[in-house]
């Protein structure tokens, strides 16, 4: 079982003090916050491609690196990073070939029904309560557009200081190459990206 495998490994990890070289403070040394995708290909690749290590940055991950609304949990974490954890720059990083760009909300809802997690009546009640489930489950069509939308949302957020650079990038999940979508420094200086 996976849980037992993890707990056994963890016991040895702690016993051998393998955590020691990774000890860090909670304040990010590079004073940055990164919002990116939870894609398994990025677990080690993203930090290596950015040259960040334990203690360097606050990293927030979710499906597609998407900021769904101005007051969702991702934005809450970004705001906390800026005000409580001294992050001076924000990096919003999407990635090519993202699963969130290939979502099929109707298919996902059918899988929920097939597993018996919810009945059609439950899904209808959720919709009746004002949740558009297909919209909620939908990722995005274009990673560059999604990254730009994230940048626009954060840059125009009423609680984000106007002097904080908000960068938008897209990483290749195979090579780690970063494509610049929005240079937050240029935006601060009123230049076009």
Residue 167 among known ligand-binding residues: no
Residue 98 among known ligand-binding residues: yes
Please tell me the distance from the alpha carbon of residue 50 to that of residue 107, in angstroms, as a whole number.
Answer: 35
Contacts of 111 (CB under 8 A, 6+ apart): none
Residue 39 among known ligand-binding residues: yes
The per-residue pLDDT for 191 is 64
Please tell me the distance from the alpha carbon of residue 45 to that of residue 55, in angstroms, as a whole number.
Answer: 17
Please tell me the distance from the alpha carbon of residue 155 to that of residue 188, in angstroms, as a whole number.
Answer: 10
Residue 53 among known ligand-binding residues: no
170, β-bridge pairs = 94, 179
The per-residue pLDDT for 193 is 59
DSSP-derived 3-state class of residue 133 = helix
Phi, psi for 161 (deg, rounded to 5): -60, 145
- Residue ranges per domain, the chain? 31-100+146-193, 104-138
Q: Mind listing the pLDDT tens digit of every residue in the chain (193 residues)?
A: 999 999 999 999 999 999 999 899 899 999 999 999 999 999 999 999 999 999 999 999 999 999 999 999 999 999 999 999 999 999 999 999 999 998 999 999 999 999 999 999 999 999 999 999 999 999 999 999 999 999 999 999 999 999 999 999 999 999 999 999 999 999 888 866 5
The fold of 31-100+146-193 is: Beta-carbonic Anhydrase; Chain A (3.40.1050)
Tallying the residues shown for the chain, one arrives at 193
The per-residue pLDDT for 105 is 96
The pTM is what?
0.91
DSSP-derived 3-state class of residue 9 = helix
The per-residue pLDDT for 192 is 61
């Amino acid at each position: 079982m996976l849980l037992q495998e993890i707990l056994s490994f963890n016991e040895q990890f702690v016993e051998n003090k393998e955590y020691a070289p990774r000890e860090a403070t909670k304040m990010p040394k590079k004073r940055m916050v990164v919002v990116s995708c939870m894609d398994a290909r990025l677990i080690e690749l993203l930090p290596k491609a950015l040259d960040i290590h334990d203690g360097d940055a606050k990293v927030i991950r979710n499906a597609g690196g998407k900021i769904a609304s101005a007051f969702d949990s991702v934005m809450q974490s970004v705001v906390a990073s800026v005000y409580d954890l001294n992050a001076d720059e924000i990096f919003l990083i999407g990635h090519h070939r993202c699963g969130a760009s290939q979502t099929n909300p109707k298919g996902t809802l059918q899988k929920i029904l097939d597993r018996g997690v919810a009945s059609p009546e439950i899904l209808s009640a959720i919709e009746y309560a004002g949740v558009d489930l297909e919209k909620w489950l939908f990722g995005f069509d274009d990673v560059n557009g999604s990254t730009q939308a994230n940048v626009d949302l954060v840059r125009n957020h009423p609680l984000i200081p106007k002097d904080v650079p908000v960068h938008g990038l897209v990483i290749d999940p195979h090579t780690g190459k970063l494509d610049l979508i929005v240079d937050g420094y240029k935006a601060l200086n009123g230049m076009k990206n």
